[in-house]
């Protein structure tokens, strides 16, 4: 036991087979995935014209810590929207708690019953970058026939949940 600890040598990594990707292809895969984070491994393979499997591409991306994740949904905000939100926050910064208790907060959510606009998306992104705009899906609150759910809450408690068919103005 002591002999092994004293005479230990780090052995080179052995492989029975050669790697399917070269040292030139690996950075190309990473660069493409970073520039197009919503691209699937199949799309990367087709775009870069690689002769390797989709699973091999997935392994290379995982090794570089580009895991497949569900993108965060954030509202589509223009420069004007951002400015108005910031001005609202600045103007209400010094409101007393008693004034905030008198506000009704509302939210709505739409549910798509069929595939299409509501189908699942994935993104490859580094850890701790979920709210960076490049890795998030922009959403809007209009379009198409859907079921809309609306709810209200305040300091006093939660209000009733309302369901609407179609579009709500």
For the stretch 126-149, pLDDT in tens is 888 888 888 888 876 655 556 788
Residue 9 lies in a domain: no
Close Cβ partners of 38 (under 8 Å, ≥ 6 residues apart): 71, 121, 122, 123, 124
Q: Are residues 160 and 83 in the same domain?
A: yes
Q: Are residues 80 and 153 in the same domain?
A: yes
Residue 88 lies in a domain: yes
Q: Mean pLDDT over all residues of the chain?
A: 84
Is the CB of residue 149 less than 8 Å from the CB of residue 166? Answer: no
Q: Are residues 88 and 46 in the same domain?
A: no
Of 27, 43, 64, the residue at which a domain comes to its end is: 64
Residue 41: give the domain boundaries: 19-64
pLDDT tens by residue, 154-166: 999 999 998 877 6
C-alpha–C-alpha distance, residues 36 and 33, integer Å: 5
Q: Is the per-residue pLDDT at 118 higher than 60?
A: no
Residue 11 lies in a domain: no
Q: Are residues 143 and 103 in the same domain?
A: yes
Q: What is the pTM of this model?
A: 0.58
Query: Rounded to the nearest 5°, which phi and psi values hold at 158?
Result: -100, 140
> How many domains are there within the chain?
2
Picking from 6-20, 24-38, 72-86, which range would have the lowest pLDDT averaged per residue?
6-20
* E strands, the chain, in order: 67-69, 73-75, 105-111, 123-125, 137-139, 147-154, 157-158, 162-165
Query: Rounded to the nearest 5°, which phi and psi values hold at 102?
Result: -95, 5
Q: Are residues 120 and 55 in the same domain?
A: no
Q: Is the per-residue pLDDT at 115 higher than 50?
A: no
Angle at 70 between CA 66 and CA 74, to 5 degrees: 115
C-alpha–C-alpha distance, residues 34 and 129, integer Å: 12
pLDDT tens by residue, 65-101: 988 888 888 888 899 999 999 999 999 999 999 999 9
């Amino acid at each position: 036991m002591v002999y092994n600890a004293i005479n230990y040598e780090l052995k080179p990594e052995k492989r029975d087979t050669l790697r399917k990707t070269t040292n030139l292809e690996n950075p190309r895969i990473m660069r493409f995935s970073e520039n197009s984070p919503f691209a699937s491994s199949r799309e990367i393979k087709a775009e870069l014209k690689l002769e390797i499997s989709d699973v091999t591409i997935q392994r290379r991306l995982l090794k570089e810590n580009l895991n497949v994740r569900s993108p965060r949904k954030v509202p589509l905000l223009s420069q004007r929207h951002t400015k108005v939100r910031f001005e609202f926050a600045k103007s209400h910064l010094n409101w007393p708690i008693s004034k905030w208790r008198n506000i009704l907060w509302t939210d709505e959510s739409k549910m798509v019953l069929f595939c299409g606009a509501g189908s699942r998306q994935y993104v490859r992104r580094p850890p701790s970058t979920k709210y960076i705009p490049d890795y998030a899906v922009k959403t809007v609150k209009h379009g198409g026939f859907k079921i809309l759910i609306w709810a209200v809450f305040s300091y006093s408690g939660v209000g009733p949940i309302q369901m609407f068919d179609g579009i709500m103005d």
